[in-house]
Amino acid sequence: MLSKNKLLLLLSLLAAFPPLSTDMYLAAIPLLQKAWNQPLAMLNLTLVCFFISYCVFLLFYGPLSDRFGRRPLLLVGIAIFIMGSLLCAISDQVFVLIISRVIQGAGAASASALSMAITKDVYKSHERGRILAYIGVIMALAPMLAPVFGGWVLTRFSWRWIFVIQSIVGLIAWIGVFRMSETLKVPSAMGVFQTAGIYLRLLRNRRYLGFSLMMSLVVLPHFAFIGGSADIYITRFGLSEQVFSYFFALNAASIMAGAFLCTRLLHRIGSRRILTLGFAGIMLGGLGMVAHLFPGPWGLALPMALLSFSFGLSRPPSNNLVLEQVDQYAGAASSLLIFIYFMLGAFAMWLISLEWSDKVHTIGVLGTVVGGFILGIWLFLPGAAAGKPTSGGASR
């Protein structure tokens, strides 16, 4: 039985599986390009296929956990993650690494989907937004420290040790889940195939689907940066893997600072104003990149820091707003939300791997367009922004 503080740390670790699985490995991509004589688009498939696998399996873990409980699905999923991590460590060519990353993604999906569902099980609405913000702060340490640690591993050992370390992190999480009590008090009485039909109900819930799509668009510039940052900083600007990790850590620290500020502002100005500030900041960060306000790598790092800060600021209340649109089946609802989120992220990673003449400008355009578009909807559709039914209605 875990205390509330230990449960919060465990949920943060589970939610951090995606950044741990990607950001620690980013600095190795240019190295593997040269070692295996492969283009960036091919190496980026190790990122894209991870997230596609991750997204597909999210749709299974959610409804299965509503039927059989969170704990057994987590134990199975994390075990798959550990196996996939070890297979990545012994890969000797890009195609083997891609397949191993698919297995790793299939296991990682259980962690982040069900960690969000557990917050719905354990915490009431008035405190869930605050808990999600705290998780955002804690899990932001993962993308801040992971590339620094990954760069340190690359300079002293081999890229293979990055995946060995990921398997050890998975083992720690597995032990934590093993000691955790089941949080789902009333399992669904439906069969597995009936439970899968919950997704059809969610897709007919216009408010849930609309908010999910709108709030997930903010990931486009964020994941384009993740997919292109190593190529931009190391190949274009000629930085070392270790220096790249520091620039990437600045981005992660900005997300953490935004999430931390969110915890301080929620009870003062409310979630709607926080979301307005967040969307405006994403747009301004994109404009800063498009305008090339700073020379060299700082032309990406500083505007991206503003964009990432705004992303961290807006993500906890946006997640809570989406989950507020459903009364039950939190596992399936959180799985579908994260599915949309990371499928858009995988698309952004593929997009940035194309032969753009200026990838910094491309990321800036994405930030400007996405931030401006969502901000416009948020400001000019006040009924929808407040979470009220629109003329089209909503089915639950």
Contact 184, 332 (CB under 8 A): no
What top-level class would CATH report for the domain 4-385?
Answer: mainly alpha
47, 140, 232, 237 from 25: Cα distances, Å: 9, 16, 15, 19
The predicted model gives 364-384 an average pLDDT of 85
Q: How far apart are CA 137 and CA 119, in angstroms?
A: 15
- Three-state SS string across the chain, please? CCCHHHHHHHHHHHHCHHHHHHHCCCCHHHHHHHHHCCCHHHHCHHHHHHHHHHHHHHHHHHHHHHHHCHHHHHHHHHHHHHHHHHHHHCCCCHHHHHHHHHHHHHHHHHHHHHHHHHHHHHCCHHHHHHHHHHHHHHHCHHHHHHHHHHHHHHHHCCCHHHHHHHHHHHHHHHHHHHHCCCCCCCCCCCCHHHHHCHHHHHHHCHHHHHHHHHHHCCHHHHHHHHHHHHHHHHHHCCCCHHHHHHHHHHHHHHHHHHHHHHHHHHHHHHHHHHHHHHHHHHHHHHHHHHCCCCCCCHHHHHHHHHHHHHHHHHHHHHHHHHHCCCCCCHHHHHHHHHHHHHHHHHHHHHHHCCCCCCHHHHHHHHHHHHHHHHHHHHHHCHHHHCCCCCCCCCCC
pLDDT attached to residue 148: 81
Per-residue model confidence as pLDDT tens digits over 169-217: 999 999 988 888 777 777 666 666 676 677 788 888 888 888 888 888 9
Residue-wise pLDDT tens digits, 21-75: 888 888 888 889 888 988 888 988 998 899 889 888 877 887 788 778 888 999 9
pLDDT band at 391 (very low <50, low <70, confident <90, very high): very low
User: Which carries the bigger pLDDT value, residue 358 or residue 319?
Assistant: 358
Q: How confident is the model at residue 280 (pLDDT cuts 50, 70, 90)?
A: very high
pLDDT confidence of residue 255 = 85
pTM value is 0.76
pLDDT at 195: 62
pLDDT band at 388; cut points 50, 70, 90: very low
* More confident of the two residues 54 and 270: 54
Summarize pLDDT for 116-168 with one digit per residue, the tens. 777 777 777 666 666 776 776 666 677 777 778 888 888 888 889 999 999 99
CA dist 129 and 169 (Å) reads 27
